[in-house]
Structures are given as structure tokens and as C-alpha cells.
Amino acid sequence: MSALLFSPYSVKNVTLKNRIVMSPMCMYSCQNEDGKVENWHLTHYTSRAVGQVGLIMVEATAVTPQGRISVNDLGIWSDEHIPGLSRLVSMIKEHGSATAIQLAHAGRKATVPGEIAAPSAIAFDEKMKQPKEMTKEDIKQTVLAFQEAAKRAKTAGFDIIELHGAHGYLLNEFLSPLSNKRTDEYGGSSENRYRLLKEVIESVKEVWDGPLFVRISAHDYHEEGLTAEDYMTFGKWMKRDGVDLIDVSSGAVVPARIPTYPGYQVKFSETVKYGADIDTGTVGLITSGLHAEEILQNGRANLIFIGRELLRNPYWPRTAARELGVEIKAPAQYKRGW
């Protein structure tokens, strides 16, 4: 039996050469605080493309300056960001990897100067700044910011867009009853708490016809929070609204103890995949090719998102291939003589 990890995966008009995805990870490496791509990003992401990752997903990239997690985040709130992102896309694609970008707004977890915004005026914890409750005009402008960011991502040449609806950032804050205490049409029922994400999906799809992913936190690790069963319903709605794949993570909407072990989030991916009848990606302490292959062979996810292991080893796909007895073609330079 051939290894599924190294089989192609197609979504709409994009085909990945394998099922390995570089998980979007905040790198906090814009030293000029302007959100623009720097040499570090060109080296960081291109190295993983040389290492034969099928899909390189660029880190959480802020759709507004206010929506940055930190002042060192990448940004896509201005046309001035497009040239650097375009160069990054070009360099990644030179090595055969597909490209994606995660569009994000930090909400109440932003640590930037000035006012921050959230569904409700509740701080994440006692150390974090208290946000202001967003007005309907604020919400309208945020939806527009995601749409404008999607236009820039298209201009820059990305193959796939992912919306960051996880880890306690803005879209996740609206989804979870732990952080959303609103009494208007954006709070209360599941349908109301989903409304902002729905509006963002619809606005992005007005300007973007490529594959659209959403990252979720499928478990709040709190007795009054959401679980993967709740995300089965949200997942059905996302599929109805045009989402192609759900990237299943968990936690971080409120402070909580998270029990971690290899593959601790895979069960959430499996629940959402079958409960919502939608393709999923899974992530979380997956460090070996054999483990990744087990997940795929047992139908628990369609893509394997690798985070910290790719930080440790940019050539992890080659390590995984050796484990699975798969031969990856060597770079052309490898065979050249002196």
C-alpha cells in the first residue's frame, strides 16, 4: 500500500503534491513593526518549501493594525504589504509547494498600543487589556477588512486562504459563549454567535474563488464552553457557506489546562469531519511519519498540519518519507558533479 501522506490532495483548482501542511504559527519577526515581509520570512518559509512540504501556510497575518497579536506580526491591511508577500509566494512556489495565508484579527488578545476590540468588554485574563465591546459599525468595518485582505492575498498570488477562527482570537471570541455575552444579533444563540464568521466567509467569497479553509478551536476545555460536537453544527454551516476544509485545533479562548499528548486533537478532527461531512486537517504533537500515516489511513483527517516539528526540522518530509519507505526525488543540484 502506498503512503497516503505522500499522495496528492486536490481542492478546487489547487493540487498539493502531498498531505503535509506547514501549520500557521505566529513568528513575531517583523522587527520594523510595519507588518511587512522581511528577509527572515523569506528564509523561514522557503526553507520548508525546499524541504518538500506540500502546502506552506503563512502565519496569522493581521487584517488591521489594531488586530495584531503583537506589533511584530505580519500584516495585510495595506497595499504596501503586497510586494513582500508576492515575493514570498514566488520563492515558495519555485520549490514546488502550494501557498496559503491565514487572515487574522486578534480581538481581545491583541497586545498593541491603544484601544482593542472584542465581542464583549471582557479581558482574556487579569494580565491582559480590557477590550471595548464592538459596535455594529465596528463589526461592519472588520468584515470589510477581511474582504480587502482577501483581495490583497489574491493579488499576491496565494493559492489558498485560511480564516483564523481559533485560539481565542476575534472570530473564535464571537463563536464561544465564554467570550461572547452580547444580547444583539451577534450574541446568544449558536446562529447569532456564528453570524460574524458567516459574514466574513461571504464577504471573502465575493472577491475570492479559490479554496477557503477555516481554523477552529474545537474544544474550549471549560464546562460551559464549546466542544467538538458543537463544531459539528458550525461545520455544517461553514460547508453550506462555501468553506472547503476545516483546520481543527483547540483551546485558548479562555485560560484553561489542556491535556496534551501525541495526536491529542485528532479525535476532534475526526468528530468534525464525519459530523459535518467536510474535509479536515489535524494538528498537535504529530512528529512522526508513521503517526501521520495512521491518521490518514484511518480516515481521521485529510491533511496533516505540522507546527513545531517543522521549526525543529525544515526537512521533516524527508524524515517522514524514510520512515514510510517512500522515495522523494532529490533536488537537481544533488546530482551535479564538480
All structural domains of the chain: 4-328 (3.20.20.70)
Give the Cβ contact number of residue 159 at 10 Å.
Answer: 23
Q: Which pLDDT does position 337 carry in this prediction? A: 55
What confidence tens digit (pLDDT) does each residue in 31-89 have?
A: 999 999 999 999 999 999 999 999 999 999 999 999 999 999 999 999 999 999 999 99
Give the three-class secondary structure for 102.
strand
**pLDDT number for residue 333:** 64
Q: How far apart are CA 14 and CA 93, in angstroms?
A: 13
> Phi-psi category of 74—alpha, beta or left, where left has phi over 0 and alpha has psi -120 to 50?
beta
With cell 516539528, the residue in question is 309
The predicted structure's pLDDT at residue 338: 56
> What pLDDT was estimated at residue 332?
66
What is the per-residue pLDDT for 329? 78
Helix, coil or strand: residue 135: coil
DSSP string covering 279-290, please? EEEEESS---HH
- Flag residues of the chain having pLDDT under 50: none
* Beta-strand relationship, 14-16 and 9-11: antiparallel
Share of the chain above pLDDT 90, in %: 94
- The pLDDT value given to residue 2: 83
Cell readout for 286 is 504529530
pLDDT of residue 15: 98
Say what the pLDDT of residue 193 is: 98
198, 221 in Cβ contact below 8 A? no
